[in-house]
Structure 1
Amino acid sequence: MAVGLTGCAGEVSSVDRAEARVAAKEKALTDAQAELLSASEAFCEASETYVMALDRYGDVLNETAPTVGDVREAGADLSEPRDDAFDGAEEAVAAQQQVVTAEKELAEARAALERANAGTSVEPSVAAPPEPTVTPLAPAAAVDRVMQAESAFAASQSALTDDTPLADASEQFNSAAVALEFAWLRLFGEAGCLPNEQTLQAQAALSAYTTALQQDLATVGYYAGAIDGLYGPETVGAVEALQEANGLIVTGTVDNATADALQAELLALGGAAAQESIATTAAVQQTLKLLGLWDGPVDGLWTPALTDAVTAAQIELGVEPTGAVDAATLHAFQAAMEQVTQPDSLESPTPMPSASDES
């Protein structure tokens, strides 16, 4: 029997075994990639559910007259979707690691097949191929911001007692929920849960708004964090400080009254602060770009280059070249934009709809 088994074994060459191993590792990689796709889709679905739950939670606090019990109950309703989102994230990360492992094992199997074809079992002395690298499902900064926001929200929950005034309870939870929803929205987009075009549009809109807000809050002295376009706890805290200083309801969210208060403080400072309050930086950049007078980014950051562009635009439009966006400059911008959108009556006899008609 031993002789017979030895003979059978001898019929399977080292090349055959190496090829079989490569085929097995290729299938393992395909399976791992399919599992990663499934896990990623599950995470996106769970995180979307959680974001929607956070949004509904904000509606409860804003559109009703909540009791402390309402606040607690609404917060408790977030527990299950939060757990599902985190479980989905962990499963997706684990599936991603399985892909990395499968890629490494396939590379090793292919190297062994090359050696078998060469008729040697000795590994070459040349440097081994680099280890497969993995691209995180989402940038570390977005993940860290979610964890910070989750921690702040948990702290606001633990601080709530039967003796907590109703207004304070709502403010604490609402502020923490706003930061948490913004953090998860960013993570949702950066984890690939939206089509590429939608992701870019959503991220750009959210980042531009938050960047401009952070810059304005920093200008009036309420914000000392990074101007990074991430609506996190520091940004919420700055909005709260602004609201408290102006006698407004402290929510951490920017409503019309809060926006007016911020604009008033910016105008009171004058100079560079005033130019950013009359029209947001991003709006100035976009207007100049449409007029062909700005080729830089529309990112909400006021830079010396933008000041130069405003000055050049004022000279071209016949406005005093101050480099600041004042009422006269806005009027000149508006008139120039109307000229850009007006049809040439000699070339196009059909009138184009005006901006007011389209709106």
Structure 2
Amino acid sequence: MVLAGCTGEADPAERAQRQVSAKEKAVAGAQAALDDASGAFCGASKDYIAALDRYGDVLNDTAATVGDVRTAGADLGEPRQDAVDSAEAAVAANRALSDAQQELVDAQAALAAAEAGPSGAATTSAPAPSSTPLAPTASVERVKQAESQFASAEASITDDTPLVDAAEQFNSAAVALEMAWLALFADAGCLTDEQAVQAEAAVRAYTTALQQDLLVAGYYVGDVDGVYGPMTVQAVEDLQKAAGLPVTGTVDKATAEALQAKLAELGGAAQQETVASTAAIQQTLKLLGFWDGPVDGVWSPELTAAVQAFQTELGVQPTGTVDAATVAAFEKTISDLQAAAPEPSPSPSSSSADG
């Protein structure tokens, strides 16, 4: 009888408890793996954004050649692949954590049933906490769209293409790509400094407000997505043509006033909307320390001077207008604001899936 007791099976509740302990360790391991993958994504995406910024510097160089553009473009391949691979790894780690959490829930339910015994009430497995997407779907889709537009713009440049003729449209595609990745970088939790988060949101709000104004005025036909890309540039150019202004694709005081006048013709709510884009510029400059005036949506000579001061500080030609290069400089400054902040423990996203 003693030997039989020694060779008998362990108590079901004890076995179930060991399973729970094992699953708890598995969840902890999966969480640690996700944290590592998240950090790797933030590092890789930051490197890619830096490469895109260097590429933008080549495009803004007045002496740049098609060969320079192609060489710099080739240098984007490796950091881009690293960013995409790390994003996919983070998505996989997030899914693995979700699976581990569900297995833990199942083990806990089995333990409760074992402790209740044969006469206890039946226990059903509760669902694990739902997996939170690593970034909003819109941010992921914005990156996909920007990558596609950039590839198309890059393919349109040939040895016979005068770079100056393609500069604004091509540069806007590169800027849109950098901005899309910066937005994903922020949405994934890689920005932790509160000021940086606010400033990033303000820059995105400016472009969104501008697109909305242009849409209402009948010049913009794309999605209002906060990305200052080729379609936004085209809409600004169309507005300038209609208003008899120099066609630059950039927003200056005269262009802002022309847009306001067009919306005023439409009347009602449309007239009020135009204040938003200028106010977003003022708010962004205020967050970055270049504007101490009111955030009232009125484009004044002082605002032009503030834009010029910001452009001078960031090495952008001080035109006093807001173009794709200036928006990119805004975004770069925002990403640099995190330098003094502690390293984050973010939850990134993939440009191929939103997890």
Instruction: Establish whether TM, by shorter chain, passes 0.5.
Output: yes
Moved more, 189-198 or 80-89: 189-198
Q: CA offset at residue 76 of structure 1?
A: 1.0
Listed as ranges, the gaps of 5+ residues in structure 1 are 287-297, 301-324, 328-359
Moved more, 138-147 or 216-225: 216-225
Q: CA offset at residue 39 of structure 1?
A: 0.5
Cα-to-partner distance string for 1:4-41 (whole Å, 9 max, x where unaligned)? 7x755425222221111111110010000011011001
Q: Is the 8 A contact 1:212 1:280 kept in 2?
A: yes
1:269 to 2:266 alignment: no
When residues 25 and 9 of structure 1 are mapped into structure 2, their CA distance, relative to the original with a 3 A threshold, is farther
When residues 231 and 248 of structure 1 are mapped into structure 2, their CA distance, relative to the original with a 3 A threshold, is closer
Match of 2:50 in 1: 52
* Two-structure CA RMSD over aligned residues (Å): 3.4
When residues 123 and 99 of structure 1 are mapped into structure 2, their CA distance, relative to the original with a 3 A threshold, is farther
- Identical-pair percentage: 59
- Of 19, 29, 34, 1:36 maps to 34
AA partner of residue 174 (structure 1): N
- Of 132, 147, 161, 1:150 maps to 147
Match of 1:204 in 2: 201
Cα-to-partner distance string for 1:220-258 (whole Å, 9 max, x where unaligned)? 4321334453445543442454567744456xxx3xxx3
Match of 1:347 in 2: none
AA partner of residue 99 (structure 1): L
Partner Cα separation in structure 1 for residue 282 and residue 71 of structure 2: 45
Partner Cα separation in structure 2 for residue 48 and residue 10 of structure 1: 58
Q: CA offset at residue 47 of structure 1?
A: 0.8
Q: CA offset at residue 97 of structure 1?
A: 0.5
Q: CA offset at residue 180 of structure 1?
A: 0.6
Q: Is the 8 A contact 1:61 1:170 kept in 2?
A: yes
TM superposition score normalised by structure 2: 0.69
Partner Cα separation in structure 1 for residue 75 and residue 119 of structure 2: 61
AA partner of residue 154 (structure 1): A
Listed as ranges, the gaps of 5+ residues in structure 2 are 284-294, 301-355
Cα-to-partner distance string for 1:281-303 (whole Å, 9 max, x where unaligned)? 636998xxxxxxxxxxx998xxx
AA partner of residue 109 (structure 1): A
Higher RCO (CA 8 Å, separation ≥ 6 residues):
2
- Of 2, 11, 14, 2:12 maps to 14
- Of 43, 60, 63, 2:61 maps to 63
1:163 to 2:155 alignment: no
Match of 2:226 in 1: 229
Q: Is the 8 A contact 2:253 2:299 kept in 1?
A: no
Residue-pair matches, total: 282
Give the alignment of 1:183-262 within 5 angstroms.
183-195=180-192, 197-198=194-195, 200-232=197-229, 234-239=231-236, 241-242=238-239, 246-249=245-248, 254=250, 258-262=251-255
TM superposition score normalised by structure 1: 0.68
Partner Cα separation in structure 2 for residue 274 and residue 143 of structure 1: 33
When residues 229 and 163 of structure 1 are mapped into structure 2, their CA distance, relative to the original with a 3 A threshold, is closer
